[in-house]
């Protein structure tokens, strides 16, 4: 039931929003910051290096479901639980194989990591009824799990399947807990945060942030992932983006994702 007072508040708020010129387009009304001093975080994936790593790992272990260092590091740092039942198992970073089905040609398959794209116009924030999902000025899309009502509308809306729902208490699926990252409870949605704790700490110290997956890929694998500020034309990510053919996933839906995939294959 709605009280007269609440009705007035809602009506007033809607009118105020209309006057303030709130854009009906996705995302937080303000969008990401236009201030050149505020970074815009993004990730660049070198698909060729990533494919090389996963293929080698599968060959070495014989396990087609192997988790590469990036996924392991993500799970460990972010307290992402592991459950037997794949249907209920939350996953922030996933590796997927892509192939173009042309039997006569058999083009080479490639592997790419899938994660939250921290879109410029996030569909999840657009549909969230409580604004539990929101976009920071630096582009990172976050979930306030205390505000999340667990309606899962965001999971339906996200074009990239980046979100997981906690059907179970995630703490039951953890072997050890990283105290740096808060654990979540049953009944809310969670996803990749670009390791926001690492980002914020690095910024405070004035260093370049390196999320857990990027670090693991650099230390233990092919250095296929690069994280950085795309507003700065001299950042490593900006320089590397100029050296290849860069695509976004599903650009047609207009969410403008900020995880980019670079396609360059070394000539033999």
Partner 1 sequence: MAIEFKKINGDSPGYFAIVLVFAAVVAIGAISYLANHFGNAPDDMSQRVPWGIVNGAIPYYIGLSAGSLILSALAGVFNIKKYKVFSRMAAFLAIAWIVVAILSIVMDIGKPLHLGGATLYFNLTSIFSWNAFLYSSYFVVCAIYLIAMFEDKQTATRILAGVAVFWAVMVHSGTGAIYGYIYSRELYHSVLLPPLFIVCATSSGLGLLMATIYLTFKYTGRKLDPDLVRSLSKVFLGLILILAYFLVDEMFEKGYMPGLQRAIHFVFLDPSQSIFWCFWLLLIVGIGLPAFIVVYPRTGRDLRWLSIGGIIHAAMIYAERFYLIVPGEVFPREYLPGYTMTSLNTLEGSIVSYTPTPIEWAQVIGLFAVGYLIFLIGLKVFAILPEEATEEVIEE
Q: Which residues bind partner 1 (CB under 8 A)?
A: 1-2, 6-7, 10, 13-14, 17, 22, 24-27, 29, 54, 64-67, 71, 86-91, 94-101, 114, 123, 126-132, 146-153, 155-161, 164-167, 186-189, 249-250, 252-253
Apex 259 CA angle, 254 and 260, nearest 5: 90
Smallest distance from partner 1 to CB 119, Å: 11
CA distance 39 to 209: 11
- Quick check: helix, strand or coil at residue 171? helix
Smallest distance from partner 1 to CB 113, Å: 10
Greatest Cα pair distance, the chain, in angstroms, is: 73
Q: Let me know: does 97 contact 73? Beta carbons within 8 Å.
A: no
Smallest distance from partner 1 to CB 43, Å: 15
Q: What are phi and psi of 46, to 5 degrees?
A: -90, 105
Smallest distance from partner 1 to CB 45, Å: 12
What does 211-255 look like in DSSP terms, one character per residue? Answer: -HHHHHHHHHS---EEEEETTSTTSHHHHHHTTSEEE-SSGGGS-
Residue 19 burial by Cβ neighbours in a 10 Å radius (0-12, 13-18, 19+): exposed
Looking at beta carbons only, is 61 or 243 nearer to partner 1?
A: 61
Residue with tokens 């010129």: 21
Looking at beta carbons only, is 27 or 209 nearer to partner 1?
A: 27
Looking at beta carbons only, is 130 or 223 nearer to partner 1?
A: 130
Looking at beta carbons only, is 12 or 233 nearer to partner 1?
A: 12
Smallest distance from partner 1 to CB 164, Å: 5
Looking at beta carbons only, is 126 or 221 nearer to partner 1?
A: 126
Please choose, from the candidates 216, 154, 150, 178, the residue with its C-alpha nearest in 3D space to the C-alpha of residue 81.
178
Residue with tokens 């790593």: 53
Smallest distance from partner 1 to CB 206, Å: 35
Looking at beta carbons only, is 187 or 239 nearer to partner 1?
A: 187
């Amino acid at each position: 039931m709605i009280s007269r007072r609440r009705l007035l508040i809602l009506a007033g708020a809607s009118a105020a929003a209309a006057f303030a010129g709130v854009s009906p387009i996705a995302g937080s009304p303000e969008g990401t910051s236009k201030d050149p001093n505020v970074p815009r975080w993004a990730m660049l994936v070198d698909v060729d290096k990533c494919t090389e790593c996963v293929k080698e790992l599968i060959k070495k272990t014989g396990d087609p479901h192997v988790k590469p260092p990036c996924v392991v590091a993500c799970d460990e740092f972010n307290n992402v639980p592991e459950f037997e039942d794949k249907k209920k198992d939350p996953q922030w970073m996933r590796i997927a194989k892509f192939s173009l089905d042309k039997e006569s040609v058999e083009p080479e398959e490639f592997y790419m990591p899938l994660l939250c794209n921290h879109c410029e116009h996030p569909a999840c924030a657009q549909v969230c009824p409580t604004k539990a999902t929101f976009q920071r000025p630096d582009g990172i899309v976050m979930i306030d799990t205390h505000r999340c009502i667990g309606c899962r509308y965001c999971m339906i809306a996200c074009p990239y399947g980046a979100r997981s729902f906690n059907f179970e208490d995630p703490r039951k699926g953890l072997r050890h807990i990283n105290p740096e990252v808060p654990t979540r409870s049953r009944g809310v949605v969670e996803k990749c945060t670009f390791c926001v704790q690492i980002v914020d700490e690095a910024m405070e110290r004035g260093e370049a942030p390196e999320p857990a997956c990027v670090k693991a890929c650099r230390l233990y694998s092919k250095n296929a992932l690069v994280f950085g500020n795309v507003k700065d034309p001299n950042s490593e990510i900006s320089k590397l983006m100029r050296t290849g053919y860069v695509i976004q996933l599903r650009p047609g839906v207009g969410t403008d994702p900020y995880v980019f995939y670079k396609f360059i294959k070394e000539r033999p």
